[in-house]
Structures are given as C-alpha cells and as structure tokens.
Amino acid sequence: MGSSATKAMAVGVIRRLRTAGHEALLAGGCVRDMLLGHRPADYDVATSATPRQVKRLFGHVLMVGAKFGVAMVIINRRTVEVTTFRSDLSYSDGRRPDGVKFVTAREDAQRRDFTINGMFYDPICEKVIDYVGGKADLAGGVICAIGDPKRRFAEDYLRMLRAVRFSGRFGFRIDRATAEAIGRNAGRITRISGERIREELEKMCARKTAAASLKQLHKLGLLETILPELFDRPGLWATSLRRAEAVARRCDVLLTLAAILCDLPVKDIRRIIRRWGGSNDLRNSLVWLREHIDDWRTAHEMSLAEFKRILAHRDFRRLKVLWRIEELLFPGGKRRYLAIRRRIKRIDPKQIAPPPLVTGKDLKRMGVAEGPMFGRILRALYDAQLNEEITNRRDALKLARGFVDMSR
C-alpha cells in the first residue's frame, strides 16, 4: 500500500463523490490538525457512498475494510482512506465493531472517540461541520470523550491510552468525566493486544512530552497495569521517570524506552518486549543498553579492546547519553564521565572497529579446524589488534601461529 495522499488528492476524491451525488467531507484527525495549524499526516474522507459505490467511481480501490465501510482509493501509489458514514454495533473484542450500519454524518460523528477528532470539514465551501463540540474543546485545550466516556472506552480500551497521548501531544487537559472513566477502567487495558499498547507508547516516547505522558499514565492507573515491573520495588518508578525526563527532549523512542526500563533485570525486559510483540532488534538493543548501563563506573579503566567493542556498537550513542544521566543521578560520577570522554577522543575512529588482520581463512591454512578453539583464537587475535598490541599483518600472523601451536 502506498503512502498517504496529499490534501489535493483527497479533495479530488471528494469532488468526484459529490459529482456522483454523494455527500463527502474530510474527517477526523486531519480536521483537528488543520484547525490547530499543524500539517496533517494524512487526509481521510467520510462519505454517504458505500464501499461498492466508491469502487465503481475510482480505478484502483482496495476493499480491505469494506465490511466496516472502509475503502482505500489508490492515486499515483498514494492512498486516500474513504469511510462510509457509519454507526458501530456492539464490540465483542473491545477493538472492532461486530458490524456497522450506514448512517448520516451527524450519527457518524457520535461513534468517534474524542470531540477534537469528531469534526468534519467541507473543503469546497471551506466550512467546519461540528456536531460534537470539537471546536470549543480544541479552543479550550480539552480532551473529552464523545457521549458517555465509559461506553467509548468499552468499545476500544486503547482509547484510554490515546487520550493520554493526545493530552501530551497537544498540551491539553483531560476532561474530568473522561479521566474518571479511564481511572475506573484502567485495569481493562490488558484486554488490548500488547502490540497496540506498544505502538501507543512508542508514539508518546517520540515526543518531548514523553515524561509528562508517563506521569499522566501513572496518575490514571494505566502505567501500573501496562508496566507492573516498574513498581516491584520502592524508588524504581521514580528513577525511571527522572531518566525519561532527562532524555525526552531528544524524541528518541528507543532511548526513552531504555531510560524507563534500564533498571529492570534483563529477564524482565525480555518478557516485556515479548508481551508487547516487539521486534528482536528492539529487544536486543534494550538488553544491550541494560547490560552496559553501569559500565560508566569502569569504562575509563577497562581494556582498550573491551572499550572499543562498546564504542563500536550501534547503540553506543544512546548508551553515552544514559551514562551522562547516571553521573547526574549518582554523586561523584562526573569525574568518571569526563575520563571516558577524554579516552574516546584519544582513539582514532578508524581503529575502533578495524578489519581483522587475521581471518578465519588464515587459521584454516594453518590447519585449524572450525570449532570452539577456532573462535577463541580469532577473538584473542582481534583483542590483541584492538588493544594495539599488534598493528600489522606480519606480527598478527606470527601471533596467530603462536596461539595455534599452544592449542595443539
């Protein structure tokens, strides 16, 4: 599926639908963002036309969500999501409606999550159509559920996390009744898949307001359900929050997650990422950062080879930031961090991860068969190279022969 369409493409879809006699409007987040003066990430269209009618009007249409009233119009490899005005029936799985019925625009607005996301915009007449009080809440800086908050959240409990994310993103307060409904239903967030929870958390962690969002999650009782490991011992959550506050301005999702989780045992981090359906890369990065978070205490005096291996890791830049935070959290750390910086400056960048002077092919020519000893010799040779004990291939081969002779 292609990337999101431009506003002009979405307006073109609206004109085509209207020419065919259907009502069509821009809907949802793009309306909110336009009113805030932000550039929308995408432009969604809501219409009285059914998916089948949409398909007849446009050349390339994907009917992936047709039973929910959704058709994807493809224009020059870009996608315009076109949704039929609908009213959702019951939500057995707390995520998707069991069925939908096609209704008017006014009725469609009532099934959306928050008032600021429930507005329509007529790009032809340049007019906002607001059936839910979204303009007033946008002006007042309020996140307010449409209708009964308890019912809105029961339809999809992920909306509780979305309320916090929107609050942090826009600096809005959460309406009292909406916040109370979140507090009463916070424990039900576990009915949502770990993948969807992680995606919301990552969106929060991608913003400078990440720490504020975490505090809001804690205040509403959501964080203890999502990350109970942070409350296994006193002071753990407070330290995680301080780290998150220190890194949030960087808008680095992985770094913020590491700041939150890096006091936990490795087994807990692995379990959390598995629970969230996270990638192996995410798990491996978080585990590596956790394993090396305390190295700021000894990095200035560890062997050159060990130090270079850390410098060569793809996540060292993030680890260095965490080390800097550690020195601020623990008195006396500054001297060590400055020593680490001086040591880094003394190392030629080309010598941090140079090509090995001796390879596996060389060892095979010396008659060494692959196996545990093969790997140990290669590592010992590369350590000697990183420690700058050997600097040319002739000396490296001589050392290799010595290792091989000792192993026989």
Domain ranges of the chain: 1-134, 289-351, 360-407
Selection from 54, 25, 154, 47 nearest residue 102 by Cα: 47
Number of residues in the chain: 408
CA distance 157 to 192: 7
- What is residue 98's predicted lDDT score, i.e. its pLDDT? 55
Q: Where are the beta strands (DSSP E) in 14-147?
A: 24-27, 44-47, 61-65, 70-75, 78-84, 86-88, 100-102, 120-122, 127-129, 142-143
Name the burial class of residue 348, with classes exposed (0-12), middle (13-18) and buried (19+) by CB atoms within 10 angstroms of its CB. Answer: exposed
Least confident of 4-8, 311-315, 349-353: 4-8
What does DSSP assign to residue 187?
Answer: G
* DSSP conformation class of 369: P
Exposed, middle or buried, 366 (CB in 10 Å: 0-12/13-18/19+)? Answer: middle
Average pLDDT over residues 348-364: 95
Contact yes or no for 25/14 (Cβ under 8 A)? yes
Mean pLDDT over each residue of the chain, to the nearest integer: 93
Confidence of residue 331 (pLDDT cuts 50, 70, 90): low
Please give the pLDDT value at position 92: 53
Q: What is the pTM of this model?
A: 0.89
Q: Within 10 Å of residue 132's Cβ, how many Cβ atoms?
A: 21
pLDDT at 334: 64
Instruction: Place 99 in a pLDDT band, splitting at 50, 70 and 90.
Output: low
CB 212 within 8 A of CB 244: no
pLDDT of amino acid 1: 52
% of the chain at pLDDT higher than 90: 86
Q: Note the pLDDT of residue 358.
A: 95
Buried (b) or exposed (e) across 69-103, using 16+ Cβ within 10 A? bbbbbbbeebbbbbbbbbbbeeeeebeebeebeeb
Distance from first CA to last CA of the chain, Å, rounded?
Answer: 59
Mean pLDDT of 185-206: 96
CA–CA separation, 77 and 66 (whole Å): 20
Reported as type and span, the H/E element at residue 139 is: helix 134-140
The architecture in CATH of the region 1-134 reads 2-Layer Sandwich (3.30)
**Least confident piece of the model among 80-89, 156-165, 299-308:** 80-89
Residue pLDDT, tens place only, 333-347: 567 888 899 999 999
Beta strand spans in 148-204 (E): 173-174
pLDDT exceeds 60 at position 254: yes
Quote the CA–CA distance of 226 and 194 in Å, as a whole number. Answer: 9
For the stretch 108-155, pLDDT in tens is 999 999 999 999 999 999 999 999 999 999 999 999 999 999 999 999
- Torsion angle, alpha carbons of 46, 52, 55, 57, to 10: -80
